[in-house]
Structure 1
Amino acid sequence: MEGIREHTETMIEEERRGTGLSRTILDERGNPISVISLHKINQETGEATLGTWLGRPYWGKGYNRRAKDAILRLAFEKMALRRVYIGVDPRNGRSLRAVEKLPYARPVAEVPDEYRNACQGETNWFVVTREEFTRALNGEWGNE
């Protein structure tokens, strides 16, 4: 419980400073099932990181993908961000496969230090750019 409280307090403070945005995802009955957050929002560079947590009973049901689509739409259309990084622990195969399936995310080797240093241990990084996200949502992915 302490970890949840600490994370919540951190997100509240980040939102207050304008460097974070967190949303709770609800199921069809309005029950909270997930949290998705933009962290380390940098308006100057137009960048942020994305993190998600999804309750085990809801894995494999499309909630995480819909949540990512929604918060990325907000990041790019309302907040005018240019790039969002997603870091995944390579030991979490399920999470890694979920990000690899996103048509708008691509693996990257170089990540700004402020994002890389925020993760503990080995991390596989992906980036979503505004352009690639828009193309994917408009059905233009792979039609070049």
Structure 2
Amino acid sequence: MPMALFDWKSGNSGPVLHGPGVILRAPRALDYHPWADLREASRDYLQPWEPAWGEDDLSRAAFKRRLSIYDREMELGTAYPFFVIDEATGALTGAITLSNIRRGVAETGTLGYWIGRPYAGEGRGTAAVETLLDFAFDNLMLHRVEAACVPHNHASKRVLEKAGFRHEGTAKAYLKINGVWADHLLFAVLESDLGGRGLPESTL
């Protein structure tokens, strides 16, 4: 797996991760229009795999609320949200989050991501997942990262498997997806599964 290069920014802007063809960085206020446009263009593509969208889901106010939550979670160290940026063009192509980070006896986090319809099938999801795993294991020093997807989301299943995740079982009615409680395949990857590559080199 390629090693992620990263640099730490000041305040709550979070780390910036550099992977193969992608840059992962925290969402910013100026991202509202690219984010809303991409989500709207991908609505039919994404909704089958996500919680039901609220009526104001793509509004500026909703985006501002998201940023406030993201800032708080990063302050607490319980989640690290990133937008997936195309390294060559600077275009916003999706998002990935390491959330529900538990320390102590667990040292575990949960991974979730989406890629917009115009960029699907181009390997960006796999690159983003691999880059975030480097950060999770080599910088946050987690022991385990978990993920889940509905059984018929074959594209997401392939991304997880390519990144080293192993199928551990099925959870019945695990999450409410698009308004319906849905079974999910449960996946996980351990730091030891990926060989412990050591700390990535800083770009600073």
- TM-score, L = length of structure 2: 0.57
Alignment of 1:1-144 (within 5 A): 2-3=56-57, 5=63, 7-27=66-86, 28-44=88-104, 45-102=106-163, 104-109=164-169, 119-120=175-176, 121-134=182-195
- Preserved contact between residue 99 and residue 111 of structure 2 (Cα < 8 Å): yes
For the residues of structure 2 that align with 1:117 and 1:92, how far apart are their CA atoms?
15
DSSP-derived class of the 2:89 partner: coil
Aligned-residue Cα RMSD (Å) equals 2.5
1:68 and 1:26 map into 2 onto residues whose CA distance is 13
Cα distance in 1 for partners of 2:144, 2:157 equals 19
Whole-angstrom CA distance in 2 between matches of 1:56 and 1:12: 27
Q: Which has the higher contact order (CA 8 A, sep 6+)?
A: 2
Over 3 Å counting, the alpha-carbon distance change for 1:123 and 1:8 in structure 2 is farther
Unaligned runs of 5+ in 2: 1-35, 37-55, 177-181, 198-204
- The amino acid that maps onto 1:63 is R
Structure 1 unaligned spans of 5+: 138-144
How far does the alpha carbon of each residue in 1:57-101 deviate from its partner, in whole angstroms, 9 at most, with x for none? Answer: 111111111111111000000000000001112232221232233
Q: TM-score, normalised by structure 1?
A: 0.78
